[in-house]
Structure 1
Amino acid sequence: MKTVAALLSMAAMAHALVATTSEPSLSQIKTAAATTLPESPVSNVKGVAFDRFYQIWMENVAYTDSAADPNMQWLASQGILLTNYHGVTHPSEPNYCATGGGDTFGMDWDDWTQIPSNISAVPDLLDTKGISWAAYQEHMPYPGFQGFNYSNQETYEDDYVRRHNPVVLYDTVVANETRARQIKNFTDFEEDLANNKLPQWAFFTPNITNDAHDTNITFGAKWERHWMSALLANEYFMNNTLVLLTFDEDMYDLSDKNATFDQGNRVYTILLGGIIPDDLKGTQDDTFYTHYSSIASVSANWGLPSLGRWDCGANIFEIVANKTGYINYDVDLTNLYLNHTYNGPLTTGMLEEYFGGSSDLKKVAGSAWTWPVPNTDAKCSAGNGVLEAVKETYSGMSATYNYTSPYPWDEASGYNVNVTATRKTSNSTSNSNSSSTNATSTTSGAGRSSRISLGAAFGSMVALLVLLQ
Structure 2
Amino acid sequence: MKNSFILTAALAVAGVSAADPEPTYTTSRPPFSTIKPSLSSIEAAQATVKPLSPTSNVKGVAFDRIIQIWLENTNFDISTADPSMQWIASQGILLTNYFAVTHPSQPNYAAAVAGDYLGMDNDDFIRFPTNISTVVDLLDTKGISWSEYQEHMPYPGFQGFNFSNQQNFANDYVRKHNPLILFDSVALNDTRARQIKSFTSFYDDLKAQTLPQWSFITPNMTNDAHDTNITFAGAWAKSFLEPLLKDDYFMNNTLVIVSFDENEDYPTANRVFTVLLGGAVDPALHGTTDSMYYNHYSTISTVSQNWDLPSLGRWDCEANVLALVANKTGFRNTNISLDGLYFNASYPGVLSDKKFTPGWWPAPNTLAKCTTGRGVLPAIADAWGKSEGSYNYTNVYPYDEVSGAAVGGTPVVGSGEANGSGSGSGSGGSSTTSSAPSATSMAAAVPVRPEMMGALGLAGLVAALL
Corresponding position of 1:135: 148
Aligned residue in 1 for 2:121: 108
Deviation by residue 1:256-280 (Cα, 9 ceiling, x = unmatched):
xxxx6322x0001000110111111
Q: 1:56 to 1:62 in 2, by over 3 A?
A: same
Q: Is residue 2:353 matched to residue 1:392?
A: no
Distance in 2 (alpha carbons) for counterparts of 1:394 and 1:326: 28
Contact preservation (8 Å) 1:94, 1:108? yes
Could you tell me how far apart the structure 2 residues matched to 1:398 and 1:322 are?
Answer: 29
Q: CA separation in 2, counterparts of 1:144 and 1:128?
A: 22
Pairing 1:3-402 to 2, within 5 Å after superposition = 16=30, 22-252=35-265, 261-263=267-269, 265-349=270-354, 366=357, 370-402=360-392
Residues 420/29 of structure 1: CA separation in 2 closer, same or farther (3 Å cut): same
* Deviation string, structure 1 residues 347-401 (Cα, Å, up to 9, x no partner): 102xxxxxxxxxxxxxx7945x611000001111233211111100111344101
Distance 1:230 1:295, change over 3 A: same
Distance change in 2, residues 1:166/1:125 (3 Å):
same
The alpha-carbon deviation at position 466 of structure 1 amounts to 10
1:458 is paired with a residue whose SS is strand
Amino acid in the other structure paired with 1:183: I
1:333 counterpart letter in structure 2 = L
The change in CA–CA distance for 1:309 and 1:232 in structure 2 (over 3 A counts) is same
The CA deviation string for residues 303-329 of structure 1, in whole angstroms up to 9 with x for no partner, is 111100011110000010001111111
Letter in 2 for 1:389: A
Counterpart contact for 1:296–1:311, Cα < 8 Å: yes
Higher relative contact order (CA 8 A, sep 6+): 2
Distance in 1 (CA, whole Å) between partners of 2:465 and 2:292 is 37
Unaligned runs of 5+ in 1: 1-13, 253-259, 350-363, 438-450
CA distance in 1 between partners of 2:396 and 2:103 (Å): 19
Change in CA separation of 1:239 and 1:424 when aligned onto 2, cut-off 3 Å: closer
Paired with 1:186 and 1:468, the residues of 2 have a C-alpha distance of: 45
Shift of 1:424: 3.9
Name the residue aligned to 2:16. Answer: none
CA 1:204–1:222 in 2, change beyond 3 Å: closer, same or farther? Answer: same
How far apart are the structure 2 equivalents of 1:414 and 1:80? 30
Distance 2:463 2:141 in 1: 28
Do the aligned residues in 1 keep the contact of 2:119 with 2:348 (CA within 8 Å)?
yes
Check conservation: 1:246, 1:270, Cα contact below 8 A: yes
What's the CA shift for 1:22? Answer: 3.9
Once the 2 structures are TM-superposed, how far is the Cα of residue 167 of structure 1 from its aligned partner?
0.3
SS of aligned partner of 1:391: helix
Label 1:82 to 1:168 Cα distance change in 2 as closer, same or farther (>3 A). Answer: same
- CA gap of 1:235–1:31, structure 2 versus 1, over 3 A, is same
Question: CA 1:365–1:111 in 2, change beyond 3 Å: closer, same or farther?
Answer: closer
Cα RMSD for the two superposed structures = 2.8
| Distance across 2 between alignment mates of 1:452 and 1:43 | 42
Q: Give how far 1:420 is off.
A: 3.0
CA contact (8 A) 2:267 2:344 kept: yes
Find the aligned partners of 2:322 and 2:188 in 1 and give their Cα distance.
32
CA distance in 2, matches of 1:39, 1:348: 36
Equivalent AA in structure 2 for residue 288 of structure 1: Y
**1:417 correspondence with 2:405:** yes
Structure 1 residues 456 and 337: alpha-carbon distance in aligned structure 2, compared to 1, 3 A threshold = same
Partner of 1:11: none
Secondary structure of 2:263 counterpart: coil
> Once the two structures are aligned, what percentage of the paired residues are identical?
54
Moved over 4 A (4+): 428-437, 451-456, 460-469
Matched letter for residue 98 of structure 2: Y
**Aligned mates of 2:31, 2:148 — CA distance in 1:** 23
Q: 1:126 to 1:466 in 2, by over 3 A?
A: farther
* Contact kept in structure 2, 1:150 and 1:159, CA below 8 Å: yes
Please say which of residues 24-33 and 369-378 is displaced more in the overlay. Answer: 369-378
Give the Cα separation in 1 of the matches to 2:62 and 2:463: 42
**Partner-residue secondary structure (3-state), 2:409:** strand
- Output the CA distance in 2 between the equivalents of 1:378 and 1:96: 24
SS at structure 1 position matched to 2:281: coil
For 1:159 and 1:466, the matched residues in 2 are separated by 43
C-alpha deviations, 1:163-218, integer Å up to 9, x for none? 00000000111110010000000000000000010000000000000001100000
For structure 2, list consecutive stretches of 5 or more residues without a partner in the other structure. Answer: 1-27, 414-429
**Deviation digits for residues 232-260 of structure 1, max 9, x if unmatched?**
011000001001100001115xxxxxxx6
Letter in 2 for 1:408: P
In 2, distance between residues paired with 1:27 and 1:400?
44
Contact 1:105 1:372 in 2 (8 A): yes
Q: In structure 2, what is the Cα distance between the partners aligned to 1:271 and 1:106?
A: 29
TM-score by length of 2: 0.83
Amino acid at match of 1:70: P
What amino acid sits opposite 2:257 in the alignment? L
C-alpha displacement of 1:414: 7.2
